[in-house]
Every structure is written in structure tokens, then in C-alpha cells.
Amino acid sequence: MMLDRLQALADRYEKLSELLCDPDVAADPKKLRDYSKEQSDLQDAYNAFNEYKEVTTQLQDAKAMQAEKLDDEMREMVKMEIEELSGRQTELEERIRVLMLPKDPNDDKNVIVEVRGAAGGDEAALFASDLYRMYTRFADSQGWRVEVLEANENDLGGFKEIIFMVAGKGAYSKLKYESGAHRVQRIPVTESGGRIHTSTSTVAVMPEVEDVEIEILDKDIRVDTFCSSGAGGQSVNTTKSAVRVTHIPTGIMATCQDGKSQNDNKQKALQVLRARIYDIRRQEEEAKYAGERKSKVGTGDRSERIRTYNFPQSRVTDHRIGLTLHKLDSVMNGDMGEIVNALTLAEQTELLERENSATV
């Protein structure tokens, strides 16, 4: 069954190659973009399937040679080749099984990330700024671009709230696991007695949404303008460049004041608004299947405590998969690769288990 699916995938890949050479397609930007993206999504599985076929042919040839009359040296060489090819065949089978798993349609999208200080007052806001720094450094390591859409600082330089976009291929696929409550255990700078406090900040990761995916009609929004303000609420300018957009049917709001102009702020606020509406609809769709077992990784809501950052012990623990690393400084400096890879592997393993149980 898997080979049939792979052959169909390979046939589609090769058909797309033909279509992309068609002058009519080349003259149609939408078709060109859609076909190029579809082929790009199939590329890894197509390459793995071709290598699998080549290895399988070589393995069959080696086994046929083993049946012939060979001297001892040649027989040993053929035996070693069979072992090597068999191992590679198994590796490719496992890789292909993962590549054939259902793909999250949002994985290649840019993301809008919201980080807010929660329980813990000023310390929670300071930790929110630490999380923002962690994500920006991780984004830098991936070659992604970060753009702040809205920031609300406190007097200590922490963030009561910061909303930013991370733009780059695969941003959602690697950051989607960050949604939830992040707990920090450390001695706050505001603590004179040297006691360890526990505070939390919440993170929400939403895929960027195109206009065609979430259409917002002018009649369905209210746009309010006001003067931008800085830390502590003081005004930072006297022009009404800050914008608040309210989606009247849902009551969902988005505010932006960090843009260069009122129009710039409006467009950024609409970006956030579309993402929030899309996220609400996605959650409603998932709620319809609440009876099904949810992934232990998932993209949990803000109330779910997903990770603890213990500074005295230099320890970070992801509670969903039981992963503990004793390199907190490195993680806070953006070295999140080990955590992201472990979460991705855990989700893939669970999907494979579900697929296997469904076929039994």
C-alpha cells in the first residue's frame, strides 16, 4: 500500500515538472506559485523513493549473486554488501514513513507570536522579555526575520505583552509547539531577600493568514486611532498613529502602535486580527473532535503549562515529553534545536503509532 502511494506521489511530481515547463502555466503567476509549492512539498519523499528503488534493485542483484558459485573472498564481500544495503533499505523505509505522514498545512507559514507576562507581576514581564530574546536568537540561527508588531513594556524593561512576526520557511513547523504557559523559577531582580520565586508567561503561536483565507469586510470592522504610549503609559507622540481594529461579529481586537504610520499600524493590526480569527476557528474545529485522543505534544492553549525554566539548577524541562536539559543558559540564548527536534520526533512517533493501530 505504501509503495502504491509513493508511486502515485512520484507520478504527480513528474507531472508537475511537465506543467512547470508549460508556457501557459509560466504565464499564470498563481498556477506557477501553486505548482512550484506542491512540487517542493513532494521533493523529499520523491528523492527518498527514488533512492529506495535504487537500493532495492541493488539488494536484489546482490542476493542473486550470492546464489551463484563464488570463492570465499567474493562471497564475504557480497554478504557485507547485502548487510549494508539491507540497513540502508530499512532506514529509507522509516524515513519514507515519516515523510508520508499527514502534513500540517500551516507548517511552511510565517508565524505571529504573542508573549505576555502572566502570574508574577514585574518578574513575569521580565521573563516575557527573556522569552522574546530566546525566540529572536533562535530565529536568527534559522535565517528567519523578526518584526515587532506591538510591544507594551513596563518600567523595568520587561514586556507586559509583545507581539511579533517571525518570517521564514518552516517557521510554524518549529515554533508551533511553543504555545502554552512557560514557568520560571529564579530569584527576581526585584527580590531583596534572595528568595526563589515562581512566575509564568504565556505564549501563543499563530500561523500568518492570507487575505483569501480569512476575509475581513470593511463593514465588519471598527477602526479607532489614538496616541502611542511607552513604558508606564507615558505618551511618546502627539499624533494619533496608533490603531485599534475591532472585528464587530466576534469582538476580537488587535492593536498596533509600533509602525511608521497610521496606515502601517492598521495593516499590521489587520494581520494580527486575521491570525486571531483563524486561530479561534481552528480551535473550534478541533473542539468538534474533542472525543479523540489529543496529541501529547500538540500546540496547546495558553493555560497549559508546557515548560519550566529553573535558573538555580540551570535546568529546562518540557513537561509534555518529559525532556530535561541542564543547559538553561544555552537555551535562553536561542539554542532551542534539541527541544524542537525532540518535540517533532514525539509528534511523529505518535502519528506513526496511530497509523499503525488504524491499519491493524
For the chain, the domains span 2-99, 111-208+300-350, 218-286
- The pLDDT score that the predictor gives to residue 304 is 77
Q: What cell was used for 63?
A: 542476493
Using one digit for the tens of pLDDT, what is the confidence trace for 219-272?
Answer: 888 888 877 665 444 444 455 678 888 999 889 888 888 777 888 888 888 888
With respect to CATH, is domain 218-286 assigned 3.50.50.100?
no
- The pLDDT score that the predictor gives to residue 168 is 93
- The pLDDT score that the predictor gives to residue 295 is 52
* Three-state SS annotation for 247-309: ECCCCEEEEECCCCCHHHHHHHHHHHHHHHHHHHHHHHHHHCCCCCCCCCCCCCCCCCEEEEE
Q: Are 296 and 350 in contact (CB under 8 A)?
A: yes
Q: What does the alpha-carbon distance between residue 84 and residue 254 come to, in Å, rounded to a whole number? A: 57
* 111-208+300-350 CATH: 3.30.70.1660
Residue 58, Cβ neighbours under 10 Å: how many?
Answer: 16
Q: What does the alpha-carbon distance between residue 134 and residue 111 come to, in Å, rounded to a whole number? A: 16
- The pLDDT score that the predictor gives to residue 293 is 41
pTM value is 0.75
Residues (pLDDT < 70) of the chain are 1, 190-193, 211-212, 228-240, 286-303, 355-360
Q: Are 205 and 111 in contact (CB under 8 A)?
A: yes
